[in-house]
């Protein structure tokens, strides 16, 4: 698979991984903007050097885990305190180590955290830098340990300890759920302990230069650049062209599909139809609006549009916009009906 320019984002994350740990980093952005791909690229490039040990967990790969599954995902049984994840072929990533005879049943949360801590200490003792990365972190939301303790909340405490308090290990969390970022933002444990990094749409200039590299004609580029915002769309345009679907036709189809998805959301929430249309109409002449442009009474309905990935809520910058440019055109098409 080709990798399209994300130089700025890669440099930022590569540098971040090597900084003295001081805060938890939350990487967020519109659906399919390329968060996971960029992170994997950073791991790939940095792990060549052998002085960084990546504990990388992609929770998208798994069904929403139970407590026992969480333990199986995060730990590997063996002699060492940290062990290569041999299930990954291309990536050099590690899992926290745990003794062969360890009983995952009846384990206390503090024991789990001790094990994580021991793994991280062992990496440092070996003269290397540990970096913990969790993709789709929100999937741990509903796991509770004995006494009803929320795993996620307790993990945040551990992460603050590892970063801001003891400066032992960088922690990077990715999420495609922007309402989750809002919850994090409000979480008092994370106050003055977290940083946020946005991986956004591609710039128009980048889209144009990538399309040029991919051999599209000037005319095609001029047309497509108006509609394309995600790397995924570019690779789809390339594939579609190969099977004989023109740029114009591809984009027309995508907008139709997006429009249909929005209509579906409206039909599923008929009692909110007026409010949904009221929110969407704010995007008639604007690609983005301010959080303050949404009346408080509309916030519940706004959440439906965010959950359905029609709108992207950038809580850090106080901005709301469609999740992609094609979505924006779909909204405008729908409003004309
Ligand atoms: N820089 C890039 N070059 C080429 N393809 C890319 C690039 N970034 C992302 N893609 C492609 O776009 C698709 C979505 O990327 P990815 O899964 O990384 O996005 P994401 O932001 O993590 O999405 P989600 O919000 O669903 O978690 C994938 O098919 C990926 O291969
Ligand atoms: Mg992702």
Instruction: Give me the DSSP letters along 116-164.
Output: HHHHHHHHHHTT-EEEEEEETGGGGTT-EEGGGEEHHHHHHHHHHIIII
Q: Would 323 be classed as within a structural domain?
A: yes
Residue 147 pLDDT: 78
Same domain, 16 and 159: yes
Same domain, 129 and 38: yes
Q: Which two tokens mark 221?
A: 């580029």
Band the pLDDT of 185: cuts 50, 70, 90. Answer: confident
pLDDT, the chain, mean: 94
Interval 131-179: pLDDT, tens: 999 999 999 998 998 878 899 999 999 999 999 999 999 999 999 898 9
Range of the domain at 71: 7-198
Pairing between β-strand 129-135 and β-strand 311-314 as defined by DSSP bridges: unpaired
Q: Would 265 be classed as within a structural domain?
A: yes
Same domain, 168 and 264: no
Q: Which helix (H) or strand (E) holds 75?
A: strand 75-77
4 C-beta closer than 6 A to ligand 1: yes
Nearest Cα residue to atom 23 of ligand 1? 32
Same domain, 228 and 112: no
Interval 82-98: pLDDT, tens: 999 988 888 999 999 99
Q: Would 2 be classed as within a structural domain?
A: no
Same domain, 184 and 220: no
1 C-beta closer than 6 A to ligand 1: yes
Residue 230 pLDDT: 97
The candidate with the shortest Cα–Cα distance to 232, out of 87, 30, 28, 74, is 30
Where is the domain boundary, 170, 198, 226? 198
Same domain, 22 and 162: yes
Q: Which of 231, 236, 327 to probe ligand 1 with, by most ligand atoms within 8 A of CB? A: 231
Q: Would 120 be classed as within a structural domain?
A: yes
Q: Would 1 be classed as within a structural domain?
A: no
CATH number of the domain to which 45 belongs:
3.40.50.300
Q: Which of 4, 28, 37, 60 to probe ligand 1 with, by most ligand atoms within 8 A of CB? A: 37
Helical residues (DSSP H) of 198-298, grouped into ranges: 204-213, 218-224, 231-242, 247-268, 273-281
Residue 1 pLDDT greater than 80, yes or no: no
Same domain, 174 and 265: no
Same domain, 192 and 63: yes
Rounded percentage of the chain residues whose pLDDT exceeds 70: 100
Number of domains making up the chain: 2
What is the signed CA dihedral for 313, 317, 318, 323, rounded to 10 degrees?
A: -20
Where is the domain boundary, 152, 173, 198? 198
Contact 71, 104 (CB under 8 A): yes
Where is the domain boundary, 153, 183, 198? 198
Q: Which two tokens mark 286?
A: 């604007």
């Amino acid at each position: 698979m080709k990798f399209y320019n994300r130089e700025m984002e890669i440099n930022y994350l590569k540098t971040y991984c090597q900084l003295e740990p001081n805060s938890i980093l939350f990487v967020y952005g519109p659906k399919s903007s390329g968060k996971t791909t960029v992170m994997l690229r950073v791991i790939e490039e940095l792990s060549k050097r052998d002085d960084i040990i990546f504990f990388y967990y992609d929770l998208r790969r798994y069904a929403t885990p139970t407590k026992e599954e969480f333990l199986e995902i995060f730990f590997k049984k063996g002699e060492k305190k940290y062990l290569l994840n041999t299930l990954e072929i291309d990536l050099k990533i590690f899992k926290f180590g745990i003794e062969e005879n360890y009983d995952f049943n009846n384990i206390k949360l503090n024991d789990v955290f001790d094990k994580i801590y021991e793994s991280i200490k062992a990496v440092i003792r070996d003269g290397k830098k540990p970096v913990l990365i969790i993709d789709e972190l929100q999937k741990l939301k509903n796991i509770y340990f004995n006494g009803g303790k929320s795993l996620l909340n307790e993990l945040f405490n551990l992460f603050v300890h590892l970063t801001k308090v003891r400066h032992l290990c960088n922690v990077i969390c990715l999420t495609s759920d922007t309402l989750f970022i809002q919850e994090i933002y409000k979480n008092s444990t994370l106050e003055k302990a977290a940083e946020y990094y946005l991986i956004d749409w591609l710039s128009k200039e980048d889209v144009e230069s990538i399309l040029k590299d991919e051999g599209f004609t000037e005319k095609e580029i001029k047309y497509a650049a108006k509609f394309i915002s995600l790397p995924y769309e570019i690779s789809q345009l390339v594939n579609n062209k190969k099977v004989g679907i023109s740029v114009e036709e591809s984009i027309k189809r995508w907008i139709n599909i997006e429009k249909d998805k929005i209509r579906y959301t409206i039909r599923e929430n008929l009692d909110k139809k007026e409010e949904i249309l009221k929110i969407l109409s704010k995007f008639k002449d604007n690609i983005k609006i301010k959080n303050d442009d949404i009346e408080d009474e509309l916030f519940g309905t706004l959440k439906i549009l965010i959950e359905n990935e029609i709108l992207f809520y950038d809580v850090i910058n106080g901005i709301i916009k469609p999740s992609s440019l094609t979505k924006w055109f779909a909204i405008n098409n729908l409003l004309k009906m």
